[in-house]
């Protein structure tokens, strides 16, 4: 039975991936920090879809947590979803440098190391896929968060080029605002974001899986965000940076 490992699997886009992949009949390895939520999520997926679900309590801001996930990936999986991530409450210099480094650990180092652990087995079997969850913020100036997601996009494209096997796919997923707990956990005030800019997590996952199957290297779900990213290429970088920095960055 094909197996998918998902990080940040108990909430938001990660939970939506877990539901969709379980519905499609894949066995799952769920990675998250909260052991209670992991157990609840696993029980629900087993009951609803009859799949095998492993759980791994691990903090990917910690070397030990990353190492545990690496070890499991080296045993072999068919799909890796690097979804774990978070946002900061505040702008640069308002956030302690330790928290900025923690973000880079989760968004960049963990993504690199888990991709590195998963790919050899996929190449040997000549099949597999990796989805690295980035953000539309990757295309605009948006503090350490946007910079880290820009790294995810560039890294994913580079790895996809290096793999040189059409049956092993690597893709960066770049959603915009998605109805999840993400913004609430970061204490962001997003009340001013127009409803037209909000995406549904299940729709994001559906779009991502279609794009992965087609071999798309950078997936931007939603026509509104495809337009925004496309137009953003023609806006002066300093102006785009000013607009992006202000959008959705009020804090409670």
CATH number, domain of 74, equals 3.40.50.720
How many distinct structural domains can be found in the chain? 1
Note if 116 is an active site residue: no
Over range 189-201, report the average pLDDT: 81
- Answer yes or no: is pLDDT of 104 > 50: yes
Distance between CA atoms of residues 51 and 215, nearest Å: 27
A 10 A CB-CB count for 144 gives 19
- Answer yes or no: is pLDDT of 11 > 60: yes
Q: Which of 116, 145, 225, 251 is catalytic?
A: 145
pLDDT of residue 126: 96
Two tokens at 242?
């000013």
Distance between CA atoms of residues 245 and 85, nearest Å: 19
Tens digit of pLDDT for each residue in 132-171?
Answer: 999 999 998 778 999 999 999 999 999 999 998 999 999 9
Over range 55-72, report the average pLDDT: 98
Tens digit of pLDDT for each residue in 196-247?
Answer: 899 999 999 999 999 999 999 999 999 999 999 988 775 545 534 434 455 5
Specify the pTM: 0.89
Read off the DSSP letter of residue 15.
Answer: H
> How would residue 66 be classed by pLDDT, with cut points 50, 70 and 90?
very high
- CB-based contact 106:86 (threshold 8 Å): yes
Domain extent for 242? 3-251
81 to each of 8, 17, 127, 191, 215, how far by Cα in Å?
Answer: 9, 8, 15, 29, 15
- Contact residues for 148 (Cβ-Cβ < 8 A; gap 6+): 103, 104, 107, 108
């Amino acid at each position: 039975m094909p197996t998918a490992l998902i990080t940040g699997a108990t909430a938001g886009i990660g939970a939506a991936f877990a539901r969709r992949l379980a519905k499609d009949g894949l066995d799952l390895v769920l990675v998250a920090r909260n052991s209670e939520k992991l157990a609840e999520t696993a029980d629900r997926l087993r009951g609803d879809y009859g799949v095998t679900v492993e759980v791994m309590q691990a903090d990917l801001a910690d070397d030990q947590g990353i190492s545990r996930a690496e070890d499991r990936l080296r045993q072999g999986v068919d799909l890796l979803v690097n979804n774990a991530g978070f946002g900061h409450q505040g702008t640069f210099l308002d956030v302690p440098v330790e928290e900025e480094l923690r973000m880079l650990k989760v968004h960049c180092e963990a993504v690199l190391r888990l991709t590195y652990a998963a790919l050899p087995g996929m190449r040997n079997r000549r099949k597999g896929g990796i989805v690295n969850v980035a953000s539309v913020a990757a295309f605009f100036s948006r503090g350490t968060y946007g910079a880290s997601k820009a790294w995810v996009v560039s890294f994913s494209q580079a790895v996809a080029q290096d793999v040189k096997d059409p049956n092993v796919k690597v893709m960066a997923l770049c959603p915009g605002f998605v109805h999840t707990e993400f913004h609430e956990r970061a204490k962001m005030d997003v009340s001013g974001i127009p409803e037209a800019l909000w995406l549904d997590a299940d729709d994001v996952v559906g779009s991502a899986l279609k794009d992965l199957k087609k071999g798309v290297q950078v997936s931007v779900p939603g026509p509104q965000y495809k337009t925004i990213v496309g137009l953003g290429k023609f806006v002066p970088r300093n102006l785009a940076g000013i607009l992006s920095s202000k959008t959705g960055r009020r804090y409670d």
